A and B are shown apart, each in its own frame.
Chain A
Amino acid sequence: MRGLYLLALLVSIGGLAALDRHFRLAFFYKPRQTALILVCAVALFVVWDLAGLYFRIFFSGPSPLLIGWQLAPEFPVEEIGFLTLLNYNALLLWTWLRSRHA
């Protein structure tokens, strides 16, 4: 089903946001600080990804689950979603655990 990957990414991010909101970890604690960090992190990883594409190390796949929109050749729109999920996940793990072992 076209767009299923993008849907799964959005649902996953939504799930993280629900945990964030319940425990007031990041965005539901300091929204601007969280947004700034995520924008910077995603930007860095976009550059990292573009480098990988430039050197022809990896490619967008033939999966029918992709929605079919690309921001650049071999750069599907879902990649922004994935990078957001990765960095948001990492940030929530950190904010959750950072003061647990102090």
Chain B
Amino acid sequence: MHNYIVLNTAFLAAVALLCVALHYRYKLHLNRRSLLYSLAILLVLTIIFDSLLIHLELFYYDPARLLGLYIGKAPVEDFAYPVGSLLLVATLWEVLENRDAKD
């Protein structure tokens, strides 16, 4: 996994697999529009703040490990983090929130 796109695809796929498994196991109903709106807001925030953090040199990347595609100053691969985060926390929330009603 010597480059960022491979690493992030692997981790995001693992998170997605877990969430799909939980979705079917617990018969979840995540409202698609709510998910999309949440994601849209989170992505906009990510573009802004990821770019800011990179600009402030709080961290940096080896360019040889990147695709070279950026949104703002953020490498596109970075967006796997907010996608994975929302998917994970939303799914975990629904699993635990509906515990009394189901099973």
Contact = CB atoms under 8 A, between A and B. Distances in A.
Interface of A: 5, 26, 30, 33, 36-38, 40-41, 44-45, 48, 51-52, 55-63, 65-66, 78, 86-87, 89-91, 93-95, 97-102
Contacts of A36: 92, 96
Give the interface size class of chain B. 35 or more
A65 B54 CA distance: 12
Contact of B42 (A26, A61, A90, A100): A90
5 contacts: A41-B88, A41-B89, A58-B4, A58-B59, A101-B31
B59 to A, nearest CB: 5
B44 to A, nearest CB: 11
Contacts of B57: 61-63
A58 B62 contact: yes
B68 to A, nearest CB: 14
Which of B58, B60, B89 gathers most chain A CB within 10 Å?
A: B89
Given A5-B58, A90-B42, A97-B37, 7 more contacts: A41-B92, A44-B88, A56-B62, A57-B66, A58-B62, A86-B81, A93-B42
Given A37-B96, A57-B4, A59-B60, A91 B89 contact: yes
